[in-house]
Amino acid sequence: MSSHYEAPIREPLVLGEKSYHDITVDIAKPIEGKANKNWYIAFTISLIAFLWGIGCISYTIGTGIGVWGLNKNIGWAWDITNFVWWVGIGHAGTLISAVLLLFRQRWRMAINRSAEAMTIFAVFQAGLFPLIHMGRPWDGYWVMPIPNQFGSLWVNFNSPLLWDVFAISTYLSVSLVFWWTGLLPDFAMLRDRAVKPFQKKIYALLSFGWSGRAKDWQRFEEVSLVLAGLATPLVLSVHTIVSMDFATSINPGWHSTIFPPYFVAGAIFSGFAMVQTLLGIMRKVTNLENYITRLHVEYMNFVIMLTGGIVAVAYASEFFIAWYTGSPYENFTYMSVGAATGAYGWAFWSLILFNILIPQLLWVRKFRRSFIVSFLISIAINIGMWFERFDIIAIVLSKGHLPSTWSRFEPTFVDIGIFIGTIGFFGVLFLLYARTFPVIAQAEVKSILKVSGENYKKLRDGNHE
Amino acid sequence: MSNKVIHALYNDDDILMDAVKKVKDKHIHIEDVFTPFPVHGLDKAMGLAPTRLAITAFLYGLTGLGFAIWMTNYMMIENWPQDIGGKPNFSWFLNMPAFVPIMFELTVFFAAHLMVITFYMRSRIWPFKDAENPDVRTTDDHFLMEIPIHNNEDELTSLLHETGAVEINVIDKN
C-alpha cells in the first residue's frame, strides 16, 4: 500500500467505491448500450449543419471565392478567423495529454482521451479553411515540396504560410498517432468484452492485437513519455507559426513580436474552454460523473485563469504600445482607442467582455467548482476567442495605410454557412466518437485507482482523520 | 518434450508484484505477464531489460533534421535559388533562420512516427494482428502470469497458490 501513497489533503480523482472491473463496465457502457434520444437529437442537428456547410463549400468552389464577403482590402476574414480559432481549440488536447503527462498530473487521465479527440477533430476543421480559401482545392498538393510540371520550381521555405503547412500536418499526424497508441489497450478491453461477432471483429482490428504483455507496457510507457516530450514543443511551435502568418507581415497591428507567446496562451485558453464545454455535456450524457469530477473542472479552470491572464496582459500591452507609439497607423489596430470607438467597436468590446471580464468570475471558488457556471463561462470564452481572431484580422485589414482604401467586411450567408458547417462536422465526429470509442483512458485510470480512488484513499487515510 | 505452461491468474496488482518477486526468488523463469494496465516496477521485478525506444527516437530525430537541412538546401539554394524578400539565396547558412521551423517540424515528425512504427514492429502490433492474451479477463481486472513447466507441475502449483493466485490452469501449448 505504501507505494500508492498520496497526500490525504488531495481530493480523490475517482469517486465512489470503484474496483478495476467497475471502471471497465462504466467506460464500456456508453458503447455497449443504445444511444438515447438526446444523442440522436444532437447528432441530427450537427448533421444538418454539416450538410449545410458542405452545400456552402460546394457553392464556393463551384462559383469562386467571390461569394464570400471578401474585398480588395480584406482578403482574409472569416476563413482565417475560423482556421486560427479551430487550431487554437486543438491545443488544449495536446496540452492535457503531453504537458500534463510531463508534469505528472494525474487528473489528466480522465480527460485526455476526449481532449485529444477534440484536438484531432478541431484540426480537421482548421485544415479545411486554407484548402477552401485556395479556391482550387484540387491543386492543394502544390503546397508539398514535390517537383512539378513547371520545371523544378519548389515551394517557398521562407514563407510562414509554408511553415504552417509543415506545422499543422506534423501536429495532426503526431497527435493522431499519440491518441491511437493510447487507445490500443482500451480497444483491447472492448474487444475482449464484446459479445457480438461484428463488434468483436471491429475492436480486434482497431486494437491492433494488443495483448498487454509486461514488455509491451514497458515500451508503451516509454513511447508515451517520449511522444509527450516531442508533442510539448510541437504544440507550442504550431501556434507560434500560426502567429507568424501575421507577425512576419508589415501591417501595423500584425507586425508584433509578442504574437507567438500571446497566441499560444490564447490557444490554450480557448482549447480548455472547449474541453470544459464538451466534457460538461459528456459527463452527464455518458454517466461518467464519477470520473470527470468537480475537481477536474476546477483544475481546468485554473489553467483557464492562468492562460486568460496571459492573454489579458498581452491585450493590455498591445493597447499601451499602440497608444505610446503616437503613430496614427497604430490607432487603427485591433487594440487601440480607434478600434474601441470605431465601426468595429462592438467587436472590440465583445472581445473585452467575453475574454477578459467574464473569466474573472473564476477567481471565486464557488464559481470555478460549479459545473453550470464553468460551462457558461467556457461558452463565453469560445465566443471571445473567436472575436479575438476576427478583430485581429478584420479590424486591422479594414483600415490600411491609405484612407481611401478603407473598407468594411460583411459576411455573406456562405461565410456563415461554412463556419456553421464546420461546427456541425466537428459535432458529428465528436458524437460518433462518444458512441464508439472508450472516452476515458481506462487503463490509465486503473493505474491510479489505488492512489486517487475515493475508497482507497479513505481506507488509507482513515486513521489520520 | 512437453510444451505445458501454467497460467496463474491474480486479481490485484500488489499481490501480483509480490508473487512475481517470490517466483523470481526461487529462480523460476517467468515467460510472460499479461496485465490490464501498466503495473509500475513490474518490468524490473521480472528482470526485463530496459527498452531502447527512446534512443531510436533520438536517432530518428537526427535523421529528420538532416533531411530538412538537405531538402531546404537542395530546393532553395542549389536547384532553384530565388530572390524572396531579399533573403540571401546563395548560402544555406545565411538563409537558415527562415528554415528553423521546417527543421524543427521535420525532426519531430521523423522522431515521433518512426519511433511509434518501431514500437509497433517490436511489440508485433498492427491492424489485423490477432490478440495473444490467453484470457480475456487480462484486459479487464485480472493479471496473468505464464510459467513454462519442466516436470515440476505440483511444486509450481503449490507455490503459486501460496502467492495468492485466484485461479491456476495448466495449458498444453502447441
Residue A148 has pLDDT above 80, yes or no: no
Element holding A123 (H helix, E strand): helix A112-133
How far from chain centre, in Å, is Cα A291? Answer: 21
Q: Which chain B residues have a beta carbon less than 8 Å from that of A201?
A: none
CB atoms within 10 A of CB A206: 19
Residue A150 has pLDDT above 70, yes or no: no
Largest CA distance in chain B: 83
User: What are the grid coordinates assigned to A66, written together?
Assistant: 467571390
- Separation in Å, CA of A63 to nearest CA in chain B: 32
Give, in degrees to the nearest 5, the angle at Cα A119 between A117 and A121.
70
Contact A210, A187 (CB under 8 A): yes
Q: How far apart are CA A268 and CA A344, in angstroms?
A: 26
Residue B64 has pLDDT above 90, yes or no: yes
Of the candidates A273, A357, A261, A362, the residue with the CA atom closest to the CA atom of residue A318: A261
Q: Which chain B residues have a beta carbon less than 8 Å from that of A204?
A: 130-131
Q: Name the percent of chain B lying above pLDDT 90.
A: 60
The confidence band for A459, taking pLDDT boundaries of 50, 70 and 90, is confident
Query: Given the C-alpha cell 509578442, which residue does it identify?
Result: A258
Partner A contacted by B114 (CB < 8 A): no
Partner A contacted by B101 (CB < 8 A): yes
- Mean pLDDT on A24-37: 87
- Mean pLDDT on B127-137: 89
Helix (H, G, I), strand (E, B) or coil at A186: helix
Helix (H, G, I), strand (E, B) or coil at A134: coil
B4-36+141-172 architecture in CATH? 2-Layer Sandwich (3.30)
Do you know the residue count of chain A?
465
Query: How far, in Å, are A18, A111, A118, A292, A409 from residue A287 at the CA level?
Result: 14, 14, 19, 10, 44
Residue of A nearest to B73 (CA): A157
Helix (H, G, I), strand (E, B) or coil at B80: coil
Q: What is the ipTM of this complex?
A: 0.94
- Separation in Å, CA of A193 to nearest CA in chain B: 7
Contact B60, B85 (CB under 8 A): no
Of the candidates B100, B110, B63, B97, the residue with the CA atom closest to the CA atom of residue A170: B110
Of the candidates A263, A275, A239, A265, the residue with the CA atom closest to the CA atom of residue A379: A275
| DSSP labels, A323-389 | HHT--TGGGGSSSSHHHHHSTTHHHHHHHIIIIIIGGGGGGSHHHHT-HHHHHHHHHHHHHHHHHHH
Residue A221 has pLDDT above 50, yes or no: yes
Q: How far apart are CA A267 and CA A252, in angstroms?
A: 22
Query: Given the C-alpha cell 487550431, which residue does it identify?
Result: A87
The confidence band for A151, taking pLDDT boundaries of 50, 70 and 90, is low
- Mean pLDDT on A34-43: 87
Q: Which chain B residues have a beta carbon less than 8 Å from that of A173?
A: 109, 113
Q: Which residue has the higher pLDDT, A400 or A219?
A: A219
Residue spans of the domains in chain B: they are: 4-36+141-172, 53-122
Partner A contacted by B124 (CB < 8 A): yes
Residue A462 has pLDDT above 70, yes or no: no
pTM of the model: 0.92
Q: How far apart are CA A423 and CA A82, in angstroms?
A: 10
The amino acid at residue A327 is S
pLDDT digits (tens, 9 = 90+) for A98-124: 988 998 888 888 889 999 999 999 999
Q: Give the strand pairing for B143-148 and B4-10.
A: antiparallel
A241 → closest Cβ in B101, B119, B127: B101
Of the candidates A127, A223, A213, the residue with the CA atom closest to the CA atom of residue A179: A223
Q: Which residues contact A136 (CB under 8 A, 6 or more apart)?
A: none
Partner A contacted by B123 (CB < 8 A): yes
End-to-end alpha carbon distance in chain B: 11
The confidence band for A403, taking pLDDT boundaries of 50, 70 and 90, is confident
Give pLDDT, residue B2: 61
- Mean pLDDT on A144-158: 79
Q: Do B79 and A154 touch (CB under 8 A)?
A: yes
CA dihedral A230→A233→A239→A240, nearest 10 degrees, is -140
Query: How would you label B150-162 residue by residue, b for 16+ Cβ within 10 Å and e otherwise?
Result: eeeeeebbebbee
Q: Do A145 and B111 touch (CB under 8 A)?
A: no
User: What are the grid coordinates assigned to A228, written together?
Assistant: 509527450
Give pLDDT, residue A154: 86
How many CB pairs lie under 8 A apart between chains A and B?
205
The confidence band for B84, taking pLDDT boundaries of 50, 70 and 90, is confident
Q: How far apart are CA A35 and CA A42, in angstroms?
A: 11
Give pLDDT, residue A1: 44
Give pLDDT, residue A281: 86
Interface probe for A, chosen from B55, B118, B140, B143 (most Cβ of A below 10 Å), is B140
**Identity of the highest mean pLDDT range in A355-364, A447-456, B72-81:** A355-364
Q: Which residues contact A214 (CB under 8 A, 6 or more apart)?
A: B32, B33, B34, B35, B39, B42, B43, B46, B48
Q: How far apart are CA A295 and CA A370, in angstroms?
A: 10
Give pLDDT, residue A141: 86
Contact A65, A135 (CB under 8 A): yes
The mean of the pLDDT values for chain A is 90
Residue A374 has pLDDT above 80, yes or no: yes
Give pLDDT, residue B82: 85
Could you give all domains of chain A from N- to C-terminal order, each with its CATH number? 2-453 (1.20.1630.10)
Q: How far apart are CA A119 and CA A90, in angstroms?
A: 4
B140 → closest Cβ in A178, A189, A233: A189
Of the candidates A120, A449, A57, A60, the residue with the CA atom closest to the CA atom of residue A291: A449
pLDDT digits (tens, 9 = 90+) for A275-298: 999 988 888 888 888 899 999 999
Q: Do B108 and A230 touch (CB under 8 A)?
A: yes
Residue B65 has pLDDT above 50, yes or no: yes
Q: Name the percent of chain A lying above pLDDT 90.
A: 62
Query: How far, in Å, are A81, A329, A384 from residue A344 at the CA level?
Result: 15, 16, 15
Give, in degrees to the nearest 5, the angle at Cα B40 between B38 and B41.
130
pLDDT digits (tens, 9 = 90+) for A51-68: 999 999 999 999 999 999
